[in-house]
A and B are shown apart, each in its own frame.
Chain A
């Protein structure tokens, strides 16, 4: 993992001191709300419906046990005993007092964490594949590049007041687990014909009220040019991105209005002008950062674990957990374990302080001290020996953390919605809970197979509804909550934006409507090997419309 150097330490500590002074001046009245708002937002402090909310950055979703324990401590000491993991691999606390926020940031600084780049019109916390450095299908670990981008972009003076927020994701395997095509910039690590590793560059993706899929503007970018090319994109956006209309200010609109070819030409010209200056990324610097992410020294294990195989054979609950929540590790004899934060009927992404401590303990003991946060709002133990899996499973099961539903219909992404959020138009969490209860944890959910349901409580789309296989968008209609369904969205390498089925459904109707959609899929699928998305792409919208609305 990346460790702070002296510069990072003094930089983060300096920010805490500065914010402590700003909060004191706000509380004393020296600063009014208008003056203070941008300052608190630059430190991740929002004001939501019921209280302040503090959003803490988890760079590229990687945490140590010590850091996760600190989050548990903060949850208990300064909040109501829980936190909410978000779709950008961050964590939010929903109830901190403003007066406590400097102390919380001080606690975070002790474990090399902060809330910088979690708000405002800057380059936000860079995200990455949650299986980075562990996945068997990986070309290269994306996190060193995410870290390099973080160091370059943190408080970058030229890019601290962009037309709008700016999100970058880096993915290291052919399978896109970082949703890079719905980011402002998505870097996909690729190998060219000469066997050189570099990046395919995607620009202009995003969700919100105008969902657009990123355009690939370059097939191969050498590593040495990562910063220079990012800088060129940022320059073009900063100059040409619209500042007259907040809703048209993201780079996706610029690409849409000017065309990808025009923007590509402009970026390439800007890049060519500045390619040789101080922005070149030397191999020594890449190696220095990569050293922090070097794979841990895994004790050698047999490819086949007897303890693991025996338990699997005699314990169907364990076998189901393995089938659903464990994937192949690049090192033989190891697995990657997803810990679902989607218990049946639970609140997606919420974790109690006790759950965080359990996971921290397991990471320390069984996963090389590492935990990951996925953009699907789950936690991951990236490096677990198969020999240890039965024990890890027993620990998780004992804490109610062994729900075997990764990728299933109940592994729902949901934003906080109107239960917390000042922007929301409808509730998301209760809908997720009801859907989860309807389908449950049994044979039915497994029969349905892979199915991603994403729920947003407003058009800002924090719940990624546009790219859910089934998306649900909560709206307000004549004073009541109404829910629009979209079908066929996907956030992976086959990225697509879901299409709206038709009129919206009331809160009472929406769970039945989702069940109708699922039943329609089961009726029309070409066998259980054809998952929902594949079936939808083959049969199209009509059978679903017919089932939902009949001849109305």
Chain B
């Protein structure tokens, strides 16, 4: 299964992914993909340098799948880390006031009835989880 490397940014804690150009991105779609465990472990060593350089905290290897629509985390925890809370958590006034600007990648409000598809490990059928967007 392909893998990426994720961490939290030191200064603000926001979820980031090790990118193809050596930088850290808030978007999973920008992450560098490691095809094998050995490659991911080598990538993790580099990421740990960035942790020592005080850019990020606690880098880890995260399993992903890739299909036509792009990269997707596998576990629910990582899906939520990648996409933000599955609930409509922003107060209306706050969301409205900042509606013009792009929201951070990992706190994006999801559309009504956003569906999180979670492929089970081992190729079992997908479990569909509906998020509540009320």
Contacts and interface: CB of A to CB of B under 8 A. Distances in A.
Q: Do A and B bind each other?
A: yes
Given A50-B81, A479-B120, A434 B132 contact: yes
Interface in B32-62: 51-54, 57-58
B128 to A, nearest CB: 9
B76 to A, nearest CB: 7
Contacts, number: 118
A52 interface: yes
Interface stretch (B6-14, B17-25, B64-72): B6-14
Given A50-B15, A430-B87, A419 B80 contact: yes
Interface of B: 8, 10-15, 51-54, 57-58, 75-77, 80-81, 84-87, 89-94, 97, 106-107, 118, 120-121, 127, 129, 131-132, 134
Contact of A427 (B54, B75, B86, B106): B86
Interface in A346-361: 346-347, 350, 352-355
B107 to A, nearest CB: 7
A50 B84 contact: yes
Interface stretch (A28-36, A58-66, A234-242, A321-329): A28-36
A484 interface: no
Nearest to A420: B85
Contact of B90 (A81, A427, A430, A434): A81
Contacts of B132: 345, 429-430, 433-434
A479 B121 contact: yes
A50 B106 contact: yes
A50 B120 CA distance: 23
A33 B58 contact: yes
Shortest 5 CB-CB contacts between residues of A and residues of B: A81-B94, A352-B91, A97-B12, A52-B13, A419-B85
Given A29-B54, A81-B93, A479 B87 contact: no
Interface residues of A, number: 45
Given A28-B54, A29-B54, A352 B8 contact: no
Given A80-B107, A419-B86, A429-B87, A50 B13 contact: yes
Nearest to B92: A352
28 contacts: A26-B54, A47-B13, A49-B15, A49-B80, A50-B14, A51-B12, A51-B14, A52-B12, A80-B107, A81-B91, A81-B94, A81-B97, A82-B91, A95-B107, A98-B10, A99-B12, A345-B134, A350-B89, A352-B91, A418-B76, A419-B87, A419-B89, A427-B76, A429-B132, A430-B86, A430-B132, A480-B76, A481-B129
A299 B58 CA distance: 58
A434 B133 CA distance: 10
Interface in A463-494: 476, 478-481
A507 interface: yes
Contacts of A99: 11-12
Contacts of B10: 26-27, 98
Nearest to A351: B91
A346 to B, nearest CB: 8
A160 interface: no
A437 interface: yes
Interface in A427-453: 427, 429-430, 433-434, 437
A50 B87 CA distance: 14
A437 B97 CA distance: 28
Contacts of A476: 76
Given A27-B11, A33-B51, 10 more contacts: A32-B52, A49-B77, A50-B107, A80-B94, A98-B13, A345-B134, A354-B91, A427-B76, A430-B86, A479-B121
